Amino acid sequence: MTRRALFLLPALLCLAGCQRETQVEKANREGILIFGNSNEPKGLDPQVVTGVLESNILRALFEGLVSDHPSDDAAIVPGGAQTLEPDATATVWTARLRPNAKWSDGTPVTARDYAFSYERILTPEFGAKYAEMLYFLKGADRFNKGETKDFSTVGVEVIDDLTLRLTLRGPTPYFPQVLKHYTWNPVPRHVVLKHGTMTQKGNPWSKLGKIVSNGPYQLKSWRRNDHLEVERNPHYWGAADVTLNGVRFLPITNSYTEARMFRDGQLHTTYTAPPEIVDLMLKENPKVLRQEPYVGTLFIRCNTTRKPLDDARVRRALSLSFNQQEICDKILRGYKPAYGMTPPMAGYDTPHAVTFNPEEARRLMTEAGFPADAKGKRPDFPRLKYLLASRETAATTAQAIQAMWRKELGIEVEIENKEWTAYLAAMQELDYDLAGSGWIGDFLDPLTFLEMWSDGNGNNLTGWSNPKFEELLKQSHQEADPAKRYAILREAETIMTAEAPVLLTAWYARNYLLDPSVEGWYPLLLDNHPFDSIRLRTK
Amino acid sequence: MARIIINRLVQGLLTLFVLVTITFFLVRMMPGSPYTDEKALPAHILEQLKAYVGLDKPLPVQYLTYLKNLVFEQDLGVLLKKDGVTVSEIISQSFPVSALLGVLSIGIALMVGIPAGIIAAVKKNGPLDYACLAAAMTGICLPSFVIGPLLAVFAGLGLKSLNVAGWNTAADWIMPALTLGMVNAAYLARLTRGGMLDVLNQDYIRTAKAKGVPGWRIVTRHALRGGLIPAVAYVGPAFAGMISGSFVIETIFQVPGMGQHFVNATTDREYFLIQGLVLFYGFLIVGANLLSDLAQIALNPRLRAAA
C-alpha cells in the first residue's frame, strides 16, 4: 500500500462508519421546525384561502388582534392589539393597537390596515368565500350581499392610527375567540395597493418576493409541491421572545409517505397518522404517537327533502341503530362517540341526544310505517344510497354502519363512492339520500357547530330547517350573559339533534406523530399551535 | 424526408386541435365546477368569481376566447382555485423536475432493458434467458405503487445515506428514477428480445455466420440495428410519458413534478390547468412520435427507401 492510500484510509473509514445527521437533527441545530402540512397551499392571502393547511402557514406569517395560546385554546393572548375592551353589552369592542407593531418591511401596522382588510373581504366584487366569518360586524351581511355600497354602514371605525372600534350585530361575549380566525387578520394596505387594486382577483401581492406580513415570521422560500419556509420577521414587535427560527412546511399528500419520512428523520411532525401507522407506532415507538381530541364532528347528512328521510322518526331510528362506540374502537381510533352535535369545549354542556338503542330504533321504524316481517326485514323500506367521497376510513365506517343497519333494522343501504368534487356537487344539489360528512370548528364556541344548520346556510345541505331553531339562534345573537346564551344554544341544539337531520357518528381525534425533540407543543382542541414559542431540543 | 416531416407536423397540429377541443368540452361536462367547495357559495359571490375568468359567458364564446388566447397570446389561462397562479407557471415549475426524472429513468430503462433483451435473445431458452424473462415479467406485473414503497422502506429506511422521499439532493433522484426506470426496462427487455429473435432467424445472419463472422460481431454489426426497431417504437411515446411525470411516483417519493397536477387538476376541476396539461402532453407525444419515426427510418433501410 502506498503512502497516499494510507493517508486516505482514516477518511474512508470515517465515511463508512459515520452516521449521517438526519434532516431533523440538522433542523434542530438550526432551530427550524419541519411540519407535514398535507398539501400545497392554495395561496397565502388570508382573505382568499379557506383551508386548515393554509391556516397553519398564515398563523406563522400573520397576527390578528388576538393570538393563540400555546397550551390553552380558550385563553386570549394579546396580539396586534395591546388591549381589547368591550362595552357593557359586549357589542362595541375597542382595540388599542401596539404602537411598535410593524409589517415585515418595517412599515407600522395601523388601524387603517385592519379597516382596509375588513372592507376588502366584505366587498362583493372581491368574492371572498369566507366573508361570512365577518358577519358578526354590524351591517356586514348587507354590505357583502350588495344591498349597500357604503362601507361606513358596517361597524368598523378607525378612531386614530392606533385605535379601532368594531360594532357588532349584537352582544358577543366570545368575540375574542372569533377574532383568532385568520379571516380577521390584517393585510398590508400599502403592499396590496402597490401590486394592484383592493378587490382585484389574483392581485400578486401575496406571492414570494412580494408578500409582507405582520406575524412572527416572514416568507423565506416557496417551491410548489416541495416546500414552503418561513423565517424570523426582524420587525415583529415580539421578535425578542420568538424561540423558533423558522418553520418548513412540506406538502405531503400521501400519509404513508409522510409516515415513512417521519421514521427516516425528515419531519418533526406529521399532519396525520392513518390507522395502520397508529398500530405500527404503538408497537415500534409509542412515545411519538399523539392521539388528541380535536373539535370536529363526524356525521351522516340526511336529505330531508326525500321520502322516507323527510320523516324525523326514520332519521332517529337510523341514528339510534348503529353502535358508535364500536366504530370508534375498531375503525376510527381515538375518536369518541358523539352524543351531540357540539364536541366538548369551552364549558358548554352538550345536550345528550344519541345513545345506541336498537330497540327504540325498531319501534320508531314500525311507527313510521315500516313494520318488520317474520325474518326481521322491512320490505316496505326503500333501498337508500349512502354517498361517500372515496377515503379509506370513511369507506370502512360506512360498511360497518351498513352492516349494523342490516342487523338491527333489517334494511339495506347501498354505498356509493364518488370522487370529491362530484360528491360535493351531489350534496349541494340535494341529489343524495345519505352522505358521510364532517365538520371542524372554526372557533371555540358551540355556534360554529350550530349556525351551519340554519336555513340557507351554505353548509346545511340537508334541506332541514326549523323556525324555533332559527328563532333561538337569533336570540343567542342578542344575549350578553354567557350562561344564558349557552342555555339558549343548548335548547337550539336539542331541537336540532332531536330531529336528526344528521346522524351523529363520532367526535374527531387527531392522530399524528411528533418528534420528541419538539418542546412547548401541547394538545390543543383547535390544533392552532403558535410556532413562536416552540423549542427544539438538540442532543 | 422533408416531406415526411412536414406531413407529420401538419398531422400533429390537427391532432392537437382536436385534443384541445375535446378536452375543452369534456372537462366542462364533469359534475360540479371549480367553485364546488365544501361550503356552497352564496349566489352573488359565485357570479363574481365566474365573471372574473369569463366562465359566466356561453360555452361557444368561452371556447373561442380560449383558442384566441392560446394561438395569439400563447396564454394557457389561470388557475381557478389558486388565486393569481397561471397554468404556464405550473408547467414551467414542474416540467423540469419531471423531465430530469424522465431522462434518468429512460437512461436506466435503456441501459438495463436493452442489454437484458439482447442477452436473452442470444442465449435463447438458456438459464440466462429465463432469468431475464422472469425478471422482466416481474417488473411488468408489479406496479410502481408496490415497488416504490418497498424500495423506500428497505433502501430508504435501511440506508442512512438515502432519504425515503423528497427532492433536495442528487441522492434523492435514485429511488424514484429506479422505480420508474425498472418498469420500463422490463418492457424494453421483452421487446428487444422479440425483435432480436426475429432478426437472428433471418437469412443474412445465417450468411454472416457461414462467412465466419464472430458471434459478438454478428449481434452488434448485423442484428442489433434491426432488432431494436420494436424497442425504438416503444421508447418514443414512453419517453413522452416519463418526462411528463407520474402521479404515483411523485406522491410516493414526494417529487414536485408534473404528474400529480394531471390528477389533482381533474379532481379540482381546474379547467384551464387540465386543458393546458393535456395540450402540453399532446405536444410531447406528437414530438416524441415524430422523433421515433425518424429513428426507425434511420434504422430500417426499407423505410428509408420509401422516404
SS3 (DSSP) at A160? strand
Best A122, A183, A225 member to test B by mutation, with max B CBs in 10 Å, is A225
* Domain hosting residue A69, numbered range: 52-243+514-536
pLDDT tens digits, one per residue of B185-208: 999 999 999 999 998 888 888 888
Residues A384 and A527 in one domain: no
- In this structure, what C-alpha cell is assigned to residue A244? 423558533
Q: Do A202 and B160 touch (CB under 8 A)?
A: no
Nearest-CA residue of chain A relative to B157? A264
- Chain B: nearest CA to A226, how far in angstroms? 5
At A125 the pLDDT is 87
Lowest pLDDT segment from A275-279, B15-19, B36-40:
B36-40
Domain membership flag for residue A84: yes
Q: Does the predicted interface ipTM exceed a cut of 0.85?
A: yes
Q: Which of A42, A124, A425 sits opposite B31 (nearest CB)?
A: A425
Domain membership flag for residue A13: no
Residue A221 at interface with chain B, using a CB cutoff of 8 Å: no
Domain membership flag for residue A46: no
Residue A15 at interface with chain B, using a CB cutoff of 8 Å: no
CB contacts under 8 A, B 220-259 vs A, are 250-254, 256-257
Residues A128 and A159 in one domain: yes
Specify the CATH number for the domain of residue A447.
Answer: 3.10.105.10
Domain membership flag for residue A28: no
Domain membership flag for residue A286: no
Higher pLDDT, B36 or A122: A122
Residues A520 and A495 in one domain: no
Q: For residue A328, which of A270, A393, A385 has the smallest C-alpha distance?
A: A393
In the predicted structure, residue B287 carries a pLDDT above the cut 50: yes
At A148 the pLDDT is 94
Residues A503 and A518 in one domain: no
Domain count, chain A: 2
Residues A80 and A226 in one domain: yes
Residues A439 and A523 in one domain: no
Q: What Cα–Cα distance (Å) separates residue B152 from each residue in A168, A259, A462, B108, B163?
A: 55, 11, 44, 18, 8
- In this structure, what C-alpha cell is assigned to residue B44? 352573488
Residues A500 and A520 in one domain: no
Residues A532 and A491 in one domain: no
pLDDT tens digits, one per residue of B115-143: 999 999 988 888 888 988 888 888 888 88
Q: For residue A181, which of A72, A296, A73, A64 has the smallest C-alpha distance?
A: A64
Best B52, B91, B164, B261 member to test A by mutation, with max A CBs in 10 Å, is B164
Nearest-CA residue of chain B relative to A439? B38
Q: What b/e readout covers A207-216, taking b as 16+ CB neighbours within 10 angstroms? A: beeebbbbbb
Q: Does residue A341 contact residue A296 with C-beta atoms inside 8 Å?
A: no
Residues A523 and A470 in one domain: no
Q: Which of B83, B252, B253 sits opposite A201 (nearest CB)?
A: B83
Residues A521 and A503 in one domain: no
DSSP letter at A328? I
Nearest-CA residue of chain A relative to B162? A264
At A15 the pLDDT is 45
**In the block, residue with C-alpha cell 376510513:** A393
Size of interface A-B (CB pairs under 8 A): 131
Query: Which residues of chain B have a CB within 8 Å of the CB of A459?
Result: 38-40
At A129 the pLDDT is 85
- Rounded Cα distance between A530 and A532, Å, is 6
- Rounded Cα distance between A43 and A87, Å, is 36
- Chain A: nearest CA to B165, how far in angstroms? 6
Per-residue pLDDT of chain A (539 residues; tens, 9 = 90+): 444 444 444 444 444 444 578 999 999 999 999 999 999 999 999 999 988 899 999 999 999 999 999 999 889 999 999 999 999 999 999 999 999 999 999 999 999 999 999 999 999 888 888 898 999 999 999 999 889 999 999 999 999 999 999 999 999 999 999 999 999 999 999 999 999 999 988 899 999 999 999 999 999 999 999 999 999 999 999 999 999 999 999 999 999 999 999 999 999 999 999 888 998 999 999 999 999 989 999 999 999 999 899 999 999 999 999 999 999 988 888 899 999 999 998 789 999 999 999 999 999 999 999 998 888 889 899 999 999 987 678 889 999 999 999 999 999 999 999 988 899 999 999 999 999 999 999 888 999 999 999 998 888 999 999 999 999 999 998 888 889 999 999 999 999 999 999 999 999 999 999 999 999 999 988 889 999 889 999 87
- Mean of per-residue pLDDT scores for chain B: 89
Residues A76 and A143 in one domain: yes
Query: Which residues of chain A have a CB within 8 Å of the CB of B251?
Result: 253-254, 257
At A12 the pLDDT is 44
Domain membership flag for residue A11: no
Nearest-CA residue of chain A relative to B166? A226
Identify any residues that bridge with B300 across adjacent strands, giving them in sequence order: none
Q: Do B42 and A145 touch (CB under 8 A)?
A: yes
Domain membership flag for residue A491: yes
Residues A232 and A365 in one domain: no
- Strand order in A246-250's β-sheet? A32-36, A246-250, A227-232, A217-223
Domain membership flag for residue A251: no
pLDDT tens digits, one per residue of B241-254: 888 888 899 999 99
Residue B237: which residues within 8 A CB-CB, separation 6 or more?
B285, B288, B289, B292
At B302 the pLDDT is 77
At A2 the pLDDT is 45
Specify the CATH number for the domain of residue A238.
Answer: 3.90.76.10
